[in-house]
Structure 1
Amino acid sequence: MRTLFFLIVILFSSATFATPDTLFLLRHAEKRDGINPNLSDAGKSRAEHLVSMLKDKEIEHIFSTNYNRTLETVKPLSQKLGIVVTHYNPRQLTALVKQLKTLKGNTVIVGHSNTTPQLVKLLTEQDVTINEDQFDKLFVIEGGALTQLSSNN
């Protein structure tokens, strides 16, 4: 009986760890010019497309810097899923990584062309780049493995 109990505990423990949480990291969508700009029409379209890409991914947390362009990028997804966006300081990425490691559930993190690659590096030790004119890269980290997708798909 004790052996059976032990096997059941092992089985459920393995199942818990076999399905790692997934992080979705991206740069904000296309923006207008100016200081703390809003999204352009193309950016608004991309933000809406993000909903169709991620609505079935069982997202439980959404993080964004406190800038118009990042908040507007995740607003449609946040509204669709009923998730309050958590703001993070783009100058304190190490603190964000510590916070992310304590969470359970799939998470979306929206940043900038300079901070998103830094965050990917902190989480995976892999270098990625986002050019100033690129808005379509979506980085997926699952079980420590990094995959790069395009939000154009």
Structure 2
Amino acid sequence: MIFVLRCVSVVCLVVVAMPSTASAQEAIFVVRHAERVDGSPDAALSVEGEARAEILARHLRDVGIDAIYSTTYQRTLGTAAPLAEVLGLEIQTGPTHDISTMMNSDPAVSRYVESLAAQLDVQHGADHVLVVGHSNTVPALLTALGHPEAVSIGSDEYDNLFIVVPREQGPPTVIRFRF
């Protein structure tokens, strides 16, 4: 576990040090929310989830995150909050409808992630951005950002961190870690 966490830290530092040659975001960090207390629609984080959110904040605090995006649910906001607090950033939120329970094929999920990807490109072209989502929105966002491979996140997986680094041409480089 410590080895994996050190690898994530090293990759984050490498991403920060990379020359800015991409026309899109320099790096987008995408995570699913941490563990929640129960299966209710707007559940808060469990103790384990709060600990994971703190670990995420420790690993990303020095990579130069410029903006943080989250859905409006307690679990996504709770995952983003420790890093936002450390960096003094406001969490950008949306949407307000229940996309977390929709299937990836639902048009509302597609509209949300396409809109978010476009917003990130326009507003954060050379920034480092953290996006906290759900098991259905994270894979859809990776696709919207140009990742050509299908990604699946199990209902019990809360430890995935995807780092998306756009390239001048072709699909982005996507690195998947567990933390």
What amino acid does structure 1 have at the position aligned with 2:37? R
Q: How does 1:15-34 map to 2 (within 5 A)?
A: 16-17=20-21, 21-33=26-38, 34=40
What amino acid does structure 2 have at the position aligned with 1:110? V
Which whole-Å CA distance do the structure 1 matches of 2:72 and 2:22 have between them? 34
Which whole-Å CA distance do the structure 1 matches of 2:76 and 2:45 have between them? 9
What amino acid does structure 1 have at the position aligned with 2:134? H
2:144 alignment counterpart: 122
Q: Once the two structures are superposed, what CA deviation does each residue of 1:84-127 show, in whole Å capped at 9, x if it has no partner?
A: 00012254111101001111310000000111011111112321
2:74 alignment counterpart: 68
2:90 alignment counterpart: 84
Work out which of the residue numbers 113, 120, 123 in structure 2 matches 1:93.
113
What amino acid does structure 2 have at the position aligned with 1:111? G
Which whole-Å CA distance do the structure 2 matches of 1:88 and 1:94 have between them? 13
Q: Once the two structures are superposed, what CA deviation does each residue of 1:32-59 show, in whole Å capped at 9, x if it has no partner?
A: 1123000000000000001111011100
Using the size of structure 1 for normalisation, the TM-score is 0.84
Task: Identify unmatched segments of 5+ residues in structure 1.
Answer: 1-14
Which whole-Å CA distance do the structure 2 matches of 1:37 and 1:54 have between them? 24
> Given that residues 161 and 176 in structure 2 are in contact (C-alpha distance below 8 angstroms), is that contact kept between their aligned partners in structure 1?
yes
Q: RMSD of the TM alignment (CA)?
A: 1.6
Query: Which deviates more, 19-28 or 45-54?
Result: 19-28
Using the size of structure 2 for normalisation, the TM-score is 0.72
Query: Which deviates more, 72-81 or 117-126?
Result: 117-126
1:149 alignment counterpart: 177
Residues 1:109 and 1:18: Cα distance change in structure 2 (over 3 Å): closer
What amino acid does structure 2 have at the position aligned with 1:129? S
Query: Which deviates more, 40-49 or 15-24?
Result: 15-24
Q: Once the two structures are superposed, what CA deviation does each residue of 1:4-43 show, in whole Å capped at 9, x if it has no partner?
A: xxxxxxxxxxx64269610000100000112300000000
Which whole-Å CA distance do the structure 2 matches of 1:131 and 1:81 have between them? 30
Work out which of the residue numbers 142, 145, 156 in structure 2 matches 1:133.
156
Paired residue secondary structure (2:53) = helix
> Given that residues 88 and 96 in structure 1 are in contact (C-alpha distance below 8 angstroms), is that contact kept between their aligned partners in structure 2?
no
